[in-house]
Amino acid sequence: MKTSTRVLMGPGPSDVHPRVLRAMATPLVGHLDPEFLEVMDDIKTMTQETLQTKNPLTFVVSAPGSAGMETCLVNLLEPGDEAVICIHGVFGNRMADIAERCGAKAIKVEADWGSPIEIEDVKIALENCNPKLLAIVHAETSTGVLQPLEEISRLTKAAGALFVVDAVTSYCGTELKVDEWGIDALYSGSQKCLSAPPGLSPVTFSQAAIDALDNRKTKVQSWFLDLSLVKNYWAGAKRAYHHTAPISSMYAMREALRIVLEEGLENRFARHRKNHELLRDGLESMGFKFLVEEQYRLPMLNAVRIPEGIDDLTVRKRLLEEYNIEIGGGLGPFAGKIWRIGLMGESSDANHVNMLLAALKNIIL
């Protein structure tokens, strides 16, 4: 079987550092072995540090980002609750779907794909319902939009609702301050700017979120994701069996978090910005146009329009087969119309950018 060494410049997974791959080859110990408890404690502490939060209920769900999304929503929503869900791409739609499956009423605030959610629309929605929570995507990977959060957080709090954030793509790639921004529940993913293998979802919950959980009238409908059960698995020395943790993935996660902290969050964010600018200048000099207005662009996910006369699939196939480079295509209304070029974590690298620009020039010009 052939397994090529690809350069991962799509919407995730991103390239993984050799130190992280080596960590995955560490011999297994039992998941309740005292040495593994240390691994879990390290992960918890470093997740708090990278999320800039002191929330004691911060841990990693043993499943990908979508399970983190589901963890936040199934624990906080009960049948009959109202939830304001902001939708400006694929992942907002997924949140609305999950909220409705919880039996909640989803009050949708929508923006055109490629634009951020408008503050005014959020205000109107919050005033016209009795919201348990408001959920929003910080970095919409389907469109390349960075959503400003602070004002929406203030409005949500003023309405007495919990502020829930999808930080799957923004985490470890751009500024994200859980405590300072008043975020009550947040989920992310391991395979984007953290550059660990896919399959884990860091999550964090504020005291207000825990209070909402403690005041539920009904059982959480998911056994696996029920926080009141799983939280004991992450409760330090009192740890009790809940499920068998994906031990090798946890070794990888710990190493990836160490690499982030060695680099430093600010340096890491600056690197993501710098490589985004390098790519932007190169693509614009070739005549490409970005989908998103400059001030709302994500540094780690560059959405550009495919120029007239260029076939999406042909170019992406040649990039993969001839250059071993993966980039992402458009989703939904943007299928065949945009490319999504990821510069996430280890993939945010000047050599990667130069290689992609040269390959695109060879194919297109």
Ligand X SMILES: *Cc1c(COP(=O)(O)O)cnc(C)c1O
Known binding residues for substrate are: 340
Q: How far is the CB of 127 from ligand X (least distance, A)?
A: 27
Among 9, 10, 40, 65, binds ligand X (CB under 6 A): 65
Q: How far is the CB of 219 from ligand X (least distance, A)?
A: 25
Give the DSSP per-residue string, 65-133: HHHHHHHHHHHH--TT-EEEEEESSHHHHHHHHHHHHTTPEEEEEE--TTSPPPHHHHHHHHHTS-EEE
CB-based contact 9:353 (threshold 8 Å)? no
Sign of CA dihedral 251, 252, 255, 256: negative
Looking at residues 306 to 325 of the shown chain, list those that interact with ligand X (rule: CB under 6 A): none
334 binds ligand X (CB under 6 A): no
Within 10 angstroms of residue 311's Cβ, the number of other Cβ atoms is 10
Among 189, 197, 328, 330, binds ligand X (CB under 6 A): 189
Among 61, 137, 265, 306, binds ligand X (CB under 6 A): 137
Looking at residues 83 to 102 of the shown chain, list those that interact with ligand X (rule: CB under 6 A): 91
197 binds ligand X (CB under 6 A): no
d(CA 169, CA 136): 13
224 binds ligand X (CB under 6 A): no
Q: How far is the CB of 73 from ligand X (least distance, A)?
A: 12
> Residue of minimal CB distance from ligand X?
65
CB-based contact 136:92 (threshold 8 Å)? yes
CB-based contact 253:23 (threshold 8 Å)? no
246 binds ligand X (CB under 6 A): no
Q: Which stretch binds ligand X (CB under 6 A): 136-144, 221-229, 256-264, 316-324?
A: 136-144
Among 58, 156, 169, 204, binds ligand X (CB under 6 A): 169
Token pair for residue 333? Answer: 């209304």
Q: How far is CA 24 from CA 36, 45, 52, in A?
A: 14, 20, 26
Q: Which stretch binds ligand X (CB under 6 A): 2-10, 96-104, 164-172, 231-239?
A: 164-172
Q: Which residues of the chain form contacts with ligand X (CB under 6 A)?
A: 12, 64-66, 69, 91, 137, 139, 141, 166, 168-169, 189, 198
